[in-house]
Amino acid sequence: MSTPHASLNPSTPALLTRSSGPFGTCMVTTRAVAAGEVLLVMEGSRVRAPGRDTLQVGVDQHLATPDAPWRFINHACEPTALFDPGSDTQPPRFTARRALAAGQEVTFNYLTSEWHLVAPFPCGCGAATCVGWVRGARYLTAAQRDTWRLELLPHIQQQLQPPPESPPWYRDAFSITDDVWYLPLDATAATEVEQALCLMELKPGASVLDVCCGHGRHAIELARRGLSVTGLDLSSERLGMARERAGRASVDITWVQSDMRSIPSRGHDAAIVLSTSFGFLENDAAHLEALRSIRDTLVPGGQLLIEVDNRDHALRQPPRQWGESETLLWWKEDRFEPRTSRNHRHSKGRDPRTGKAYEQHIHYRLFSAHELLGLLEQAGLREDGLWGNLDGQPFTLDSPSLVIRARRRD
């Protein structure tokens, strides 16, 4: 057995180096140590990049201490010491995790301080919590993180936090409030409402929920025909336009700002989701949640009329289209993603009279008939009619739209 050789920290003479440990040189106590006692005070320079002989003390801060005694403190998944990265008034230090006897090895869990090790190494500590291979905290499983959650240093806990979620694209994609942008849609609103009513069975004064009502073009036309209308949309900008337009049209409509997955109103005889306003959500689980929310707003036997682009037809259309009117020169480009069945549409427009430009990006799910019918069935809605357009034409592979009437199944 080799003879231990002293390498003491004068301010805390609790450690010495020796070369007879099972993993080579290690650090052991020279006397009994109480839990929480300072074992070693650290000194060194701060660097931004990790190295083989650094200790991480912040998200992008590492303590470089060449030839310091801590380099002989071996790793253990159930260690005898804790590392304190220090503060503005306190230097970094090692403290005893529990009471230690004289001659006991001092070990440290590198996973509590190091996000990514430049030189990973195997661990042979034999503890029940042993990770087997020490690479850094970023590689820990959720269960391993939970095991050491009380000892993970603040900078590691910070890096383990999931990044803040960015708002969904559709929250801000419909913020254009200039009437010019919507004139092509407004021109067809009255006809679309007449066609929709022909496909539905509604009594005078029936309660209708317009889901994703936008700036209110369909809701206002429904109200003009004597129906009791509630318009629901997530966009505050579009609802502001809808309220103003309803005031000019002298119609009384209830406006609700809400996600379609959590519709607060109830007791509607019918709901409409027109002009491919369905399919914007993140995945089909979210779309199913929305359909169930719509179902819950309906009275028993209440009906839903939903209109979306027919996937089989849309895929055969030119990816780029353009046109012009007196008020708008427009261009759009569609890019279909087959793995998700989503269409990514980039639209631009310019008012030739003023030169004002507009731009919009939207991303929506394209449904085939059997896919949407399947979601409706899962949501508790039974099919009660299938067409290829709001004009009531039979549905075929070449139909531009997929229009389904479904009823609440009780």
pLDDT in tens, 262-305: 999 999 999 999 999 999 999 999 999 999 999 999 999 999 99
Average pLDDT for 186-207: 95
| Location of each CATH 2.170.270.10 domain in the chain | 15-160
Q: Do the strands 357-365 and 381-387 form a parallel or antiparallel pair, or are they unpaired?
A: unpaired
Is residue 68 very low, low, confident or very high in pLDDT (cuts 50, 70, 90)? confident
| Res 21: pLDDT | 64
Is residue 8 very low, low, confident or very high in pLDDT (cuts 50, 70, 90)? very low
Q: What is the number of alpha carbons within 13 Å of residue 100 lying toward its C-beta?
A: 25
Q: How far is CA 8 from CA 11, 68, 75, 94, in A?
A: 9, 10, 20, 14
Q: Do the strands 357-365 and 342-350 form a parallel or antiparallel pair, or are they unpaired?
A: antiparallel
**Amino acid letter at 164?**
P
Q: Between vectors from CA 196 to CA 190 and to CA 199, what angle results, nearest 5°?
A: 150
Assigned CATH for 169-408: 3.40.50.150
| Res 1: pLDDT | 31
Taking each helix axis from N to C end, the angle separating 369-378 and 284-297, rounded to the nearest 10 degrees, works out to 60
What CA–CA distance (Å, rounded) separates 170 from 276? 14
Question: Both tokens of residue 305?
Answer: 């009329």
Is 54 within 8 Å of 40 (Cβ atoms)? no
Is residue 13 very low, low, confident or very high in pLDDT (cuts 50, 70, 90)? low
Q: Which residues pair with 390 in a beta bridge?
A: none
Q: How far is CA 288 from CA 120, 126, 165, 253, 378, in A?
A: 45, 48, 22, 27, 7
- Answer whether residue 205 shows pLDDT above 70: yes
Question: Both tokens of residue 304?
Answer: 């839903």
| Res 3: pLDDT | 35
| Location of each CATH 3.40.50.150 domain in the chain | 169-408
Closest CA to 271 of 309, 237, 245, 304: 304
- Answer whether residue 5 shows pLDDT above 60: no
| Res 296: pLDDT | 97
Say which range, 164-168, 221-225, 340-344, has the weakest mean pLDDT: 164-168
What percentage of residues in the chain have a pLDDT greater than 90?
74
Closest CA to 404 of 206, 392, 316: 392
Cα radius of gyration rounded to whole Å, the chain: 33
- Higher-confidence residue of 230 and 74: namely 230
| Res 7: pLDDT | 40
Taking each helix axis from N to C end, the angle separating 217-224 and 236-249, rounded to the nearest 10 degrees, works out to 30
pTM of the model: 0.66
Q: How far is CA 58 from CA 27, 62, 153, 208, 365, in A?
A: 25, 7, 9, 57, 43
- Answer whether residue 10 shows pLDDT above 60: no
Phi-psi region of 377 (alpha: psi -120 to 50; beta: other; left: phi over 0): alpha
**Range 41-50, long-range pairs (CB < 8 A, 24+ positions):** 41/9, 41/11, 41/12, 41/91, 41/92, 41/93, 42/68, 42/70, 42/86, 42/91, 42/92, 42/93, 42/94, 43/68, 43/91, 44/68, 50/114, 50/115, 50/116, 50/117, 50/118
Is 402 within 8 Å of 310 (Cβ atoms)? yes
- Which homologous superfamily does the CATH classification assign to the domain defined by 15-160? SET domain (2.170.270.10)
What percentage of residues in the chain have a pLDDT greater than 70?
94
- Higher-confidence residue of 12 and 144: namely 144
Average pLDDT for 201-221: 96
